[in-house]
Structure 1
Amino acid sequence: MIKPWLLRLHRWLTLVFALPLAVIVSTGLVLSFEPMAQIGAAAPGTLTADRVVDLLQRHDPEGKARSLTFRAYEHRLSIGGVRPDDTIDVDVRSGAELTEDGTLSNLFYYSRVLHETLMLDLGWLVHVSTMAMILLMALGIAMGWPRLTNTLSGWHKGIAWNLLPILVLSPVTGLLLAWGVSFARPAFAPAPSAPLSMVEAVRRVGASHDLSGLVWIRGRSGRLLARVVDRGEYRVFTVTPEGLFPTSRNWVRLLHEGNFAGHWSALMNVVTSIALTALMATGLVIWARRRFRKRRPRVRRERSTLVTPA
């Protein structure tokens, strides 16, 4: 008796949140390819500490840099803190300053802004829509194991049930990430020391890691941190004069972004995003078919009443 009501609630939730969920899911699909692009383009040995130091000394002779971001898929090193209103983007191969934004980096940047705020500072709507997605999955589970058939409805149910673990993982980790929940254990905190210059930080990171896998170096909460691709995983280290100290793994972020196992974890996110897209599309088509099928007989009856015998 309760199943029809659960199904009705499932449909109406989908309709109400269809637009924001479509944006969140589609941009999530785009962002799923970013770790693939970064790791795939980071050929070992293509970027050394000496090369980065040379670029810093050339484009930041006064040592003002406060952050570095490396996009291996565009061979682009972004130096932040030198100019008050913008970063300096440098081609690591030629050493020349880049005056135009990269196509891929722009795509990933605007996809991330849409994914997190819908481009209109609507982070609250993203959170509510994500909670609605979790509720939709809970309603699907509550309706019980379906009968799988080779129909649109059967495929909709089959995708949902067969990929349920990774489908649930995506919105749950996204919501926890937005709320600042990481479940990370406190890591060893090195003793406070004098702040390092960016050149010194690059040398410390380069001493133990191939900088081809560098993602960024930046300050946070009074510490200088470096994020590096380490055997396919995006690891974060505290950079000190004594060397690098690993921070606790933020598994919520690693699972949500799909950057904990190289191409495999990124592929998992791609499959998840495609599956969520398919579920939304098939669900809306199923609703539309039923909706319009119900209306057709009424239209025919209304027409028949208008026709009177001669």
Structure 2
Amino acid sequence: MRWTQGSNPYRTVTWNGGREGVFSAPRKEPVMKPLFLRLHRWISLAFALPLLVVIATGLILSFEPIAQSGAIRPGSITLESLTAAVAKADPDGKATGIVVRPWENSFGIGFGPSARSYDLATGAPVAPGWLSGLFGASRGIHERLLFDLGWLVTASTVAMLAIIILGVLMGLPRLRNTVSGWHKGTAWFLLPLVVLSPLTGLALAFGITFTTPLPRPAGAPVSLVQALAKVAEGHDLSGLNSIRSRGGTPMARLWEGGELKAYSVSATGLTPIPRNWPRLLHEGNGAGLWSGLVEVVTSLALLGLLGTGLTIWVRRATRRPTRVRAAA
């Protein structure tokens, strides 16, 4: 048998008898691949638990824009009905923010654990629905875990990005119908989505918006009821998501054309706030149902990668060494 080599990546083999065959040369693996693989594996193991919690709650939150945009009924909320409900819920006029939950016909005054829920039609106090409770709890855990550990969420997100980069540095995979093959195939085919999720998460954590802050409006800030009136002048209140104070200035977020847009509210009217692309991409608020579905796919892919990666490690760790019989 004779090998014929050259610059061609394929090799010609001449067998005894004159028959020839062409075989591909073995793929050259990156020199640093063993180190990259070791780092990839151990970083994943070290952050497996917080990553599981962050990704799982992210999957739940992926359905929030789908629920919000899908429940909107144009013209269903008028300024008169909403201000009357707010006045009944907050007779002293001390509230500075409101969150509308169209899927359960309620709204909330206040944010966080102190938030209170009211019926959207009557302003009567109501218990938060299970879906609102699920979204609220998931958001808190997603951002801070269970014990106000926001730093660990950030560290886990950095670790996720490092794991992805190490996976890329290990080179293109050989796709097979195995756990390892599915792990590598999912990572490579959905690489843009897999990278974008932790990258935009870090941008949110560090306050990176790629926008220039708007100047603070002149004059005294408007009240919540006044802000609702200003929003209603040019927008359908049925698409209102929330109004909350940002630096003393009310900021309204409204669903328009499937996108959650933000406006600064002042006595003179509404001023559009430039798109916060990291938030739009991370939360799936850019195209309603479709961007929400993209977030669902991304979260499922990340869960699958974490699960298959741990499965590969467990199989490797529990594999019995093969005994080699000594020659007689």
Q: Which residue of 2 aligns with 1:10?
A: 40
Corresponding residue number in structure 2 for 1:305: none
| TM superposition shift of 1:161 | 0.2
Aligned: 1:127 with 2:154? yes
SS of 1:70 mapped into structure 2 = strand
| Candidates 225, 229, 240, aligned match of 2:251 | 225
Counterpart residue type for residue 114 of structure 1:
I
The one-letter code matched in structure 2 to 1:160 is A
Structure 2 residue 270 is the aligned partner of structure 1 residue 244: yes
> Which residue identity does 1:27 align to in structure 2?
T
1:56 matched to which residue of 2? 86
Instruction: Write out aligned runs for 1:91-110 (5 A).
Output: 91-98=119-126, 100-110=127-137
SS of residue matched to 2:265: strand
Aligned partners of 1:213 and 1:228 also within 8 Å = yes
Matched positions, count: 294
| Conserved? CA contact 2:86–2:123, under 8 Å | no
Per-residue Cα deviation, 1:76-99 (whole angstroms, up to 9, x for no partner): 111239xxx94442111344321x
1:229-250 per-residue CA deviation (whole Å, 9 max, x = no partner) reads 1111111101112211111211
How far did residue 287 of structure 1 move? Answer: 1.2
Residue 299 of structure 2 corresponds to residue 273 of structure 1: yes
State the 1:297 CA deviation: 4.6
Question: How far, CA to CA, are the matches of 2:86 and 2:139 in structure 1?
Answer: 28
Give the Cα–Cα distance (whole angstroms) in 2 for the partners of residues 42 and 112 of structure 1: 22
Q: Of 22, 25, 45, which residue of structure 1 is paired with 2:55?
A: 25
Cα distance in 2 for partners of 1:190, 1:284 equals: 50
C-alpha deviation, 1:253, in angstroms: 0.9
- Structure 2 counterpart of 1:258: 284
Contact 1:20 1:129 in 2 (8 A): yes
* One-letter amino acid matched to 1:111: S
CA distance in 1, matches of 2:258, 2:206: 26
- Name the residue aligned to 2:192: 165
**TM-score, normalization: structure 2?**
0.85
Query: What are the equivalent positions in structure 2 for 1:178-197 lying under 5 Å apart?
Result: 178-187=205-214, 189=215, 191-197=217-223
Contact 1:14/1:136 (<8 A) preserved? yes
Q: Larger C-alpha radius of gyration, 1 or 2?
A: 2
Instruction: Please tell me whether the aligned partners of residues 81 and 121 of structure 2 are also in contact (alpha carbons under 8 angstroms).
Output: no
Tell me, what secondary structure is at the counterpart of 1:236? strand
Counterpart residue type for residue 58 of structure 1: K
CA–CA distance in 2 between the matches of 1:268 and 1:181? 22
Partner SS for 1:244: strand
Provide structure 1 residue ranges, at least 5 long, that are not aligned to the other structure: 302-310
Is 1:190–1:245's contact at 8 Å kept on the other side of the alignment? no
Give CA deviations for 1:17-50 in whole Å, capped at 9, x if unaligned. 1101000100000011011111111111111111
Question: What is the SS of the residue equivalent to 1:29?
Answer: helix
Aligned residue number for residue 114 of structure 1 = 141
Go from structure 1 to structure 2 and tell me whether the alpha carbon gap of 1:278 and 1:53 turns closer, same or farther (over 3 Å shift): same
Q: Secondary structure at the match of 2:73?
A: coil
- Code of the aligned partner of 2:298: T
Displacement after TM superposition at 1:151 (Å): 1.3
Identical counterparts, % of pairs: 51
As a proportion of its length, which structure holds more helix?
1
The structure showing larger relative contact order (alpha-carbon pairs under 8 Å, at least 6 residues apart) is 1
2:166 counterpart of 1:139: yes
Q: Measure the CA separation in 2 of the matches of 1:88 and 1:165.
A: 39
C-alpha separation in 2, matches of 1:12 and 1:218:
42
Q: Judge conservation of contact 1:27–1:114 (CA < 8 Å) in 2.
A: yes
Give the whole-Å Cα distance in 2 for the aligned partners of 1:6 and 1:96.
Answer: 59
**Structure-1 separation of matches of 2:135 and 2:145:** 14
